[in-house]
A and B are shown apart, each in its own frame.
Chain A
Amino acid sequence: MGQQRPVFQRRVGDPMTMKLVRLATVAVFTLLASSQALAQTGTVRGRVTDADAARGIADVQVMVNGTRIGGVTGADGAYTLTAVPIGVRTVTARRLGYQPATQQVTVPAGGTVTVDIAMQVSALNLSEVVVTGSGTPTEKRKIGTSVASVDSTIISRAQALTVDQALQGKTAGAQITQNSGGPGGGGVSVRLRGVNSFISGSDPLYIVDGVIVDNGSAQLADLGGRSNPQNRLADLNPADVERIEIIRGAAAAALYGSRANNGVVQIFTKRGNIGRPRFTLTTRAGLAELREQQPFNFYPFDAAGLPVSRFNYQNDIFHRASQTEHNLTIEGGNDQTRYYLSGNFADEDGIMRSTSSRRAGGRVNLQQQLTPRLIGSITANYINTNNQMQAFGEQNDYGIMGSLFFAPTQVDFRPVNGIYPLPPALGTNPLLAIARIRNPQLIDRFIGSTKLTWTPLTSLLFDYTIGIDNTGFEQRQFVPRNAVLGTAPLSTGRSQSIFQATRVINQDGVASYTWQPLGAFELKTTGGLNYTSQHVRTTNAGATGLAPVGELVSAGSVPFAGQTEVELRTLGFYAQQEASWNDKLFLTGGVRFDASSTFAPSERWQAFPKFSISYVAIDNEAGSLNNLRFRGALGWAGSQPGIVNAYSQFITFVNVAFAGRPGFINDITFGNPNLRNERAREWELGGEAGFWDGRIAAEVTYYDRMVDDLLFFRPLATSTGFSRQFSPIGSMSNKGVELLLRTTTYDTKDLSWSTTATYTQNRNRVESLQIQDFQSAGGYPNRIRAGLPAGVFYGSYAARHCVTGALLVDSLGRYRRSNQTVDMGATLAARQAISGGTCNDSLNKVIGDPNPSFMASLLNEVTIANKLRVRLLLDGVFGNDIMNLSTRAQNAGIASNSKEYERELLPYGDPRKLPPGFNARTQGIFEYWIEDGTFVKLRELSASYTLDWEPIRRRIPGGVDLTLSGRNLWVWTDYSGYDPEINLFGTNAGGVGSVQTTAADRGFDFGGYPIPRVWSISARISY
């Protein structure tokens, strides 16, 4: 220890291509070498309590100011800090929901001093320290943008299986949608401040403990061209999460450069508390069920009036499904070492029979004080996920929901002599699919990181993190012989095994120096570098012509295979200067330079500057207005071409075999030799205020983002031999308001009641388009058109009278489609005469908008006598349209299984009777299938009881909590389908294996997996 000799004397490695890298490396390690002499230290310990309720507070961060020394309190509020430099020090305690508290203490050399701290509840906490977007830990008050942070209690109390589900309804400015109800998380998409890109799914950048992680939702086999099986964030165990920070856009995320246009979500896992080993066992058992069956056509006569038997196959497809989850954590530590170990096992059956998800994982987080000024930490997380999926969404060959919606209810699907009858027109027999079709997913994943933090001076900090996210993903698919209507090869059976290895390596270095040139001024200079490599290798093997026994590829007689490999590299540097005056006014300026392998060499280095200002007008004053802060920021960020477009700068050729020889022909997608990122400019203004002794906190932000150089496929003149080029096509804006209101209405020993409300309003607009407007979801009516929100529904509509607005129905009372010869008359003049004007002259128009007018959530938590906690979260999306293609499929003649089709069969004279052909007519009028998708969900409802009983307390000092909870218990909506939240195009938009879809494609219900209602009971035992 205390090594003095400079170590950086030898030149390492080959001649390096990047002088900047070398210089940075040399600088870092030269400084590292000039280390300080060993300082004398002592220990600080104590207990943090609630000033009003006089109870210990757990999970409080206690830090020694001006150092990196800190710890977290245990369940009883106790903490221990070791190796604190001697002398007069200030200790600060911070926790969400409390005002930070400080105490001065004199630390004796080699001795121990006790400091108890009382904290005051406060809904607003500007002293909370965040990392994301600032390079180094920074108090919120100094940051000119809005940063959302969510702590572990909020995550764990959600009783959700995945982290992103747990975030639903917790923060403003985020549209978090569970696109499917499938097991294992169901495919959640997160849109921060609207849709900002048509590539890469518009997903934010996810970082776990400093490691950029893969949140792909690749469809390696066809599980419904556009459906949402699972996104890889589902691998993360929510119980491991300590804190999540969310920055929503370019102004806040400029330091992440060319990948931050969609915002950044950074997840920190638990570090472990100092003290004796603490064991926590959590066990949950749950029951999931279909919330509500859909009405089907159960009319006992067919179209010819003959009696028929009809079947409700929902009874066979859905069932009550069980879930169990067990989680064991062990944490503890001493002066030098802190550790957190966890093991997790979750087993979830889907409400659709034959679907399930099992996740087993373990985590080791270790932190070691290497020298008084050098801390090393390691995180290692291994996950094994094993899913059994079925195709849903748009998969009409072997998808269960597709078969349910397209099969007439009089078809008897029960097997005869072991043979399952196939449906008359389309798809498979759902009972056969449940019994025999298999789509297993086997995922092995390791996420690990090593971090060194070195503070040679209290004002100087170096951080270096290297991390890896390595995922092996095997998707298998087995469709037996004679399981699919139609011809060979699929009807002869198919077995596939697709293996994808994804490896993300991330290196992150940051240095910051804080200095005070003049009394009231404080300056902080930060510099950093980042290197990421993402490498995706995919091989597939498959065969058709299967033997009657055997599910593997080897059972097939006609083999096929393929292989692809993609690598993406990004190198970035940034510098940031912060200046503060009197701890009231804070100015920040910074710039990130980014280079990506996806950018053409001529465009390789891109700069992303940012500026922000924060002014704390009122700081923790007593009275009715306790806090007031104003902030503003301006910044730039980008989106890179993703994995599917990683090589779009190259003009490439396609391999075609001809006459037994290899041949090359030009790819119809022309390379773009000037390719670079999309570029977003965003400014935001906002502020926070705390009222009435900290009981109420309000936060408001207005933002305005403009994304230029939106990347997509620009059509090329096909006479050139090419048809498209991946290039800038236009610009798009998102403007909106985010409101957060947090109240602590009561806070006494016997009763506390707190409320959090969020409100989010976003207005999206495609500002300009250099190409013709286009269907973003190839073949579906979502449209990108200048002047309109992205993804509006554009399609056929029912003719209305131009003056009265009344529907123009024909003599039988059926809808007429606008400007159709058969429906409206042969000549335009005749059509205009019927219309009373020109309003029906176009074949298509904008018929709906899937973008919500606003979103809101309301969380109430009541704690009674410190023992019983009741929690209720309402989460709503308002004013969005949904295109219900599920019911359209049901109404099609070949399906004829909807309640509306049933009305066509009714005898004449029945008031509900629909004219014959009514439903055939509406098939071609897409406006008819637009419904209001507004909903409010009872997202979470739970009651927890702490067993505070002497014999238990004696044996289990950490306590026992019992919780009864429910998720998605109730939905208030006018939407007629299974669930207004599910969406055909969700997580995988623009991703690997997706058909051409974009993040703008929302609001499509087509054979999705309904989101279940889940009841569960759990116990938490701490020892």
Chain B
Amino acid sequence: MRIVRHSAVVAAAVALSACSLDLQNPNAPTEEQVTTSVDGVIALATGLQSRFATSYFSFAYMAGLVTDEFASTTAALISISDAEQGAVPSGTAIAENVFNSIYRTVRTADDLLTGSNALGDQLDPGTRSGLRALAFALKAEALGEALQSYQKIPINTFGETAPTYVTRAEALTYVRALLDSAAATIAATPPSTLFNTSILTPGVSLPNVIHLFRARYARIARDDATALAAANLVARSGPTALSLLTFPAPTVNPYAAVTGGTNGIAPRRQWRLSMLPQDQRFTYFVVPSTTATGRVGALLDPWNRYANPQSPLPVYFPDEALLIKAEALANQNQLAAAQAALDSVRTDCTGGRGIDDPKACLPPLGAQLTQAQLLTEIYTQRRYELLGTGLRWEDARRRNAIRGPAAAPAVPVEGQRCWLPYAIGDRNANPNATFSALPDPAEPSTFPSGCVV
């Protein structure tokens, strides 16, 4: 009897005292574990760079579909072949994805900012500087992609439940301020070796990325002086001139992930056929085809550069800096200098600057072009140099070249629509984004047209 009682007492006491109700989730790290530890914050920085690749691609994919760049492959969903013809009804998943993906990137950037601040002295100044500059730059680019897709966008979202939407002008100011913060941060405290070798993706130059982004958004804001200055700071040769995101297996280059299947897209053949016959840039991007057709009959060229799942993805094409420079100079009426910059892009050929980027191998322009001719030529060169970056859409917008939906078999020319409909995912839960509070912008009714901002 004594044994029974003793063992019962012991069993009950031990068992009941073991029953703490504060359990940790062993399957996923919690906010506290991630944002308050050095390892966690460093992993956030890697996560943010992954998010950048994802949301940049979501944006570029959609922008390519509603311009003249991409069309769906045969097995693609109907919503994708609708989008390639300029029809993007509210709630279309691929359009929703642009918004949701961008703001998840923004959230990760904000988590990284919060985490790197909270760590205080646990981080050396150079590492914190690098982390903060990375967060500023990629948050800015994400919001920049948003303002190239939506007429109005929310900019203050961290800790909010109902973010408010602001105009493009206000958003652009905010994006540029973030980029200036990024530049100022690394100027004040250069990133540490730890940051550069173990946190930043190998093959990426953060200063060059920041300067390129500054030039990109200065151009969109038509701030020629800043665009020129920033573009001049982007290295055009040497090992830092090309910033590449790498995709070691099992990760996959996002373009390679959509060469087939229900999300499959490919460049329209017209992109290649519309080039000057001597222009060699198609060899960088596509494999010429005479047979590839899409879901609704679009003529396609399969990807070359991105066909391999492990092929790297440039953060930007280095000649974008030259093209921004040429445009800023042309706008400032420095036509000869503008033409020289443009020729530098046109004549880039094998050997050139020693960078693996698209090479036109065209002859120089020759006689001096007028300002209008130069701007048109810059627009043309941007089309062939920057395929798949999503920048084509904003170019069409600023050239008042929105030409309306082009139902198959017609081949779209330039841009087909001004904006994406606002995301239902935000409308459903954000009182500032209901259909009445935030109607979808009206698309132009006559073409060609610019866009109401």
Contact = CB atoms under 8 A, between A and B. Distances in A.
A722 interface: yes
B104 A658 contact: no
B53 interface: yes
Which of B10, B19, B96, B426 counts the most A-chain CB atoms under 10 A from its CB?
A: B19
Given A21-B17, A653-B28, A721 B103 contact: yes
Contacts of B108: 665-666, 721
Contact of A13 (B13, B28, B106, B162): B13
Q: Which 9 A-B pairs have the closest CB atoms?
A: A721-B107, A663-B46, A663-B47, A717-B430, A658-B50, A718-B425, A647-B25, A652-B28, A665-B47
A650 B30 contact: yes
20 contacts: A3-B1, A7-B2, A12-B10, A13-B14, A16-B13, A16-B17, A18-B17, A376-B4, A507-B12, A565-B26, A571-B19, A652-B25, A653-B28, A653-B44, A655-B28, A658-B46, A659-B251, A666-B107, A718-B96, A720-B163
Interface in B1-43: 1-2, 4-6, 8-17, 19-23, 25-31, 34, 40, 43
A466 interface: yes
A569 B21 contact: yes
Contacts of B428: 715, 717, 771-772
A805 interface: no
B9 A25 contact: yes
A677 to B, nearest CB: 13
A666 B157 CA distance: 14
Contacts of A569: 19-21, 23
Contact of A720 (B107, B248, B251): B107
B246 interface: yes
Contacts of B44: 653, 663-665
A549 interface: no
A839 interface: no
Interface of B: 1-2, 4-6, 8-17, 19-23, 25-31, 34, 40, 43-51, 53, 96, 99-100, 103-108, 110-111, 154, 157, 160-163, 201-202, 245-248, 250-251, 423, 425-426, 428-430, 433
Contacts of B14: 12-13
Interface string A12-56: 111011100110010011001100000000000000000000000
Given A652-B25, A658-B49, 7 more contacts: A17-B17, A22-B17, A647-B27, A658-B47, A665-B47, A671-B30, A716-B429
A17 B106 CA distance: 42
Which range contains the number of A residues in contact with the other chain? 35 or more
Which of A509, A566, A597, A659 counts the most B-chain CB atoms under 10 A from its CB?
A: A659
Given A571-B19, A571-B21, A12 B9 contact: yes
Contacts of A602: none
A509 B8 CA distance: 12
A719 B103 contact: yes
Contacts of B247: 659
Contacts of B40: 664
Interface of A: 1, 3, 7-8, 12-14, 16-18, 21-22, 25, 28-29, 32-33, 370-371, 376, 452, 464, 466, 505, 507, 509, 531, 533, 564-567, 569, 571, 595-597, 601, 604, 646-647, 650-668, 671, 714-723, 771-772
Given A466-B11, A656-B50, A565 B99 contact: no
Given A659-B248, A664-B44, A715-B428, A651 B30 contact: yes
B370 to A, nearest CB: 44
A665 B30 contact: no
Nearest to A659: B201
Nearest to A371: B1
Contacts, number: 219
A320 B16 CA distance: 53
Nearest to B165: A719
A720 B164 CA distance: 11
B217 to A, nearest CB: 20
Say what secondary structure dominates the interface of chain B: helix
B218 to A, nearest CB: 25
B437 to A, nearest CB: 12
B43 A652 contact: no
Contacts of B10: 12-13
Given A25-B12, A658-B53, A604 B25 contact: no
B212 to A, nearest CB: 19
A659 B430 contact: no
Contacts of B111: 666
B259 to A, nearest CB: 12
B73 to A, nearest CB: 13
Contact of B100 (A655, A661, A718): A718
A723 B43 contact: no
Contact of A32 (B5, B21, B248): B5
Given A647-B28, A652-B29, A666-B104, A596 B21 contact: yes
Contacts of A657: 50, 250-251
Contact of B17 (A13, A597, A671, A720): A13
A14 B23 contact: no
Contacts of B43: 661-664
Contacts of B99: 718-719
A717 B19 contact: no
B16 A717 contact: no
B433 A717 contact: yes
Contacts of A772: 428
A721 B157 contact: yes
Contacts of A662: 43, 46
B316 to A, nearest CB: 17
A941 B41 CA distance: 68
A654 B31 CA distance: 11
A720 B50 contact: no
Contacts of A604: 21
Contacts of A652: 25, 28-31
Contacts of B30: 650-653, 671
A21 B16 contact: yes
Given A7-B2, A659-B202, A17 B20 contact: yes
A670 to B, nearest CB: 10
Nearest to A660: B248
Given A7-B2, A720-B107, A597 B51 contact: no
A664 B23 contact: no
Contacts of A17: 17, 20
Contact of B23 (A8, A464, A597): A597
Contacts of A3: 1-2, 5
Contacts of A723: 100, 425
A654 B28 contact: yes
Contacts of A721: 103-108, 110, 157
B160 A720 contact: yes
Given A7-B2, A666-B104, A653 B31 contact: yes
A655 B23 CA distance: 20
A597 B16 contact: no
B16 A665 contact: no
Contacts of B105: 721
Contacts of B12: 25, 28-29, 464, 507, 509
A505 B14 CA distance: 14
A717 to B, nearest CB: 4
Contact of A466 (B15, B26, B202, B248): B15
Nearest to A716: B429
Given A25-B13, A654-B28, A667-B28, A720 B46 contact: no
